[in-house]
Amino acid sequence: MEFQFDSRSAFVVIDMLNDFIDERGALLLPGARRIIPRISGLLEAARRQEIPVAYLTDRHRPDDREFRYWPPHAVAGTWGAEVIDELKPLPGDYIIPKRRYSAFYGTDLDIYLRELGLNKIYFTGVFTNICIYFTAVDAVTRSYEAAIFKDGVASMSEETDRFIFRQLEEVIRAELL
Ligand code: ZN
């Protein structure tokens, strides 16, 4: 049965970019391709239910400070910074570039959510312990509700996922789906 989203919610896809997901990517997360079918199905459901869809995407300058501690990735204008073909955005979707782990920091995300009158965010994408985690914490800090699809996110290890799921549930009362 199709997943039913709460009203006044947004469905977000974080960093499903060539550099993280494609085997030729600069910062490949091995195994992350397994979450593509789940995200694809949820995208269809969200669109059918007229739930706003937002892609929160890493987009860096070639000399971004972040490259002091990560290999260069998702450089603006490059193939690596594009969403993978399987999950391409459609016209009307929100594309929100970000430079930091939290997609709220220095971006239009909060403005859009408030303009649309939304109070809940459903999360999918990568990495569970980095951009998903920091953005979900920031969402709850700003009084939004956060829900995470456990089979729609990925990190470097199942152990990391388990730890982060427990943190999300115990510390910020996120809904785990
Ligand atoms: Zn980055």
HSE-CB for 30 with a 13 A CA cutoff:
3
Amino acid present at 69: Y
Residue 61 CA to ligand 1 center (angstroms) comes to 10
CA of residue 55 to ligand 1 center, whole Å: 14
How is the chain split into domains, by residue range?
Answer: 9-64+72-176
Burial, 107: exposed, middle or buried (Cβ in 10 Å; 0-12, 13-18, 19+)?
middle
pLDDT in tens, 80-128: 999 999 999 999 999 999 999 999 999 999 999 999 999 999 999 999 9
Distance 83 CA to ligand 1 centre (A): 14
Is the pTM of the predicted complex or chain greater than 0.95?
A: yes
Architecture label for domain 9-64+72-176? 3-Layer(aba) Sandwich (3.40)
- Helix boundaries (H) for 53-129: 109-115
Rounded Cα gap, residues 12 and 114, in angstroms:
15
Q: Are the CB atoms for 147 and 123 separated by under 8 Å? A: yes
